[in-house]
Amino acid sequence: METLVLKSGRERSLVNRHPWVFSGAVKTMPKADNGQIVKVSTNNGELLGYGFFSPHSQITCRLFEFTSDEVPLNQAYWADKIKKAHALRTNVLPANTNIYRLIHAEGDFLPGVIIDVYHNVAVVQLLIKGTELISAALFEAITNVGIQHIYVKTKQNTQRIEEVGMESGWVGEPCSMPVKAEENGITFLVDVEKGQKTGFFIDQRENRSILGEYSKGKKVLNTFSYSGGFSLYAIKQGAILVHSVDSSKDAIDMCNANVEANFKQAPHQSYVADVFEFMQQTKEDYDIMVLDPPAFAKIARSVPNATRGYKNLNLIAFKKIKPGGLIFTFSCSQHIDRDLFRKIVFGAAADAKRNVRILKQLTQPEDHPINIFHPEGEYLKGLLLQVE
């Protein structure tokens, strides 16, 4: 196995277990192909761990094992990572829930892998070449924890940038779409083949439950609603009116199907519309608004434009919300950290000239764990606000 050698004085981040090695920290590149597993050592030859080599990336190596000892990287090694992650989910998931994230990349000490589970279907995203090269071991490990179907979902930019060659498709026996799965006893129909991300936004499970607690007797607007996650919780807990708005007709069709799958009658109306235009034009006096947009800043250079987008969205909500109303506002952009997001929302509140209180800080649930040495894994930021 080839070895990547760090420059003198550049090993501190790895001693502190941050899993990324940037190109500027490398003294000697290994004679290895993209995706191969390499040893990582100090300039003095001390072994620090093992990682996936990415010679064309700014992140030259992603470590999955920190150790000073030789480790056999066999099928049992990868199976143990999946088994431990599955055990954690078994302990933390609420009752009547079979929708969850099984592997959260660095949060489960397996960079380059996302695995989401919908009942008996695992959707696998292989984000770097290295995880594609161990995919057979991962698929076997997934099957061993009792999951029947595996669907690989590959993004085009992953294929282009990271040179991942695997196409989206079923591994072994396919499953008919949509998958019928449960979250806190609510049925969701999930299309893992055509849906956004892996088919659903699992990371909002706890925040949907919080919304439900406030929804009885209230009028609720769910923007960027996708398949209606927040809407269904509001209906279940007694909202008297729920509006779901998304620019995608396919998303709204799935939202309507989810409402019909759970309720014979519901005070629900959906709209295929631009969220910004809908909010500016609506005359409804909503008690609760949910602002859960897609990532406005997918890359670092998009942050200035994303900042303006988040501010404009929140400013419209502050101007429109009923006095005493609640706003659930979120950012899933990794490049917008918690402090910046709060400053953006502060700026919108100041421009709206209304008194605003923070009632709760919102984040991702336990099945999206954050490696304490890798704060970048905390990507979902949210605030529950009360507006006078």
Range(s) of the domain holding residue 40: 3-66
Average pLDDT over residues 274-285: 96
User: Does residue 109 lie in a domain region?
Assistant: yes
Residues 260, 349 within the same domain: yes
3-class DSSP state of 104: strand
Are 243 and 270 in contact by the 8 Å Cβ rule? The answer is: yes
Return the pLDDT at 299. Answer: 66
In tens, the pLDDT along 159-186 reads 888 899 999 999 999 999 999 999 999 9
Return the pLDDT at 156. Answer: 82
Residues 237, 104 within the same domain: no
Residues 260, 344 within the same domain: yes
Return the pLDDT at 297. Answer: 58
Residues 86, 57 within the same domain: no
In tens, the pLDDT along 20-52 reads 999 999 999 999 999 999 999 999 999 999 999
Residue 192's alpha-carbon distances to 85, 86, 119, 251, 256, in angstroms, are 21, 20, 12, 13, 17
Return the pLDDT at 335. Answer: 81
DSSP 336-371: S-HHHHHHHHHHHHHHHT--EEEEEEE---TTS---
| Pairwise CA distance, residues 9 & 267, whole Å | 62
Is 24 buried (19+), middle (13-18) or exposed (0-12) by CB count in 10 A? exposed
Are 189 and 250 in contact by the 8 Å Cβ rule? The answer is: no
Number of domains in the chain: 3
Mean residue pLDDT of the chain comes to 95
| Pairwise CA distance, residues 91 & 27, whole Å | 43
Residues 164, 206 within the same domain: no
Residues 304, 360 within the same domain: yes
CATH number of the domain that residue 357 is part of? 3.40.50.150
| Pairwise CA distance, residues 172 & 170, whole Å | 6
Record the pTM.
Answer: 0.94
CATH number of the domain that residue 161 is part of? 3.30.750.80
- Percent pLDDT > 70 in the chain is 99
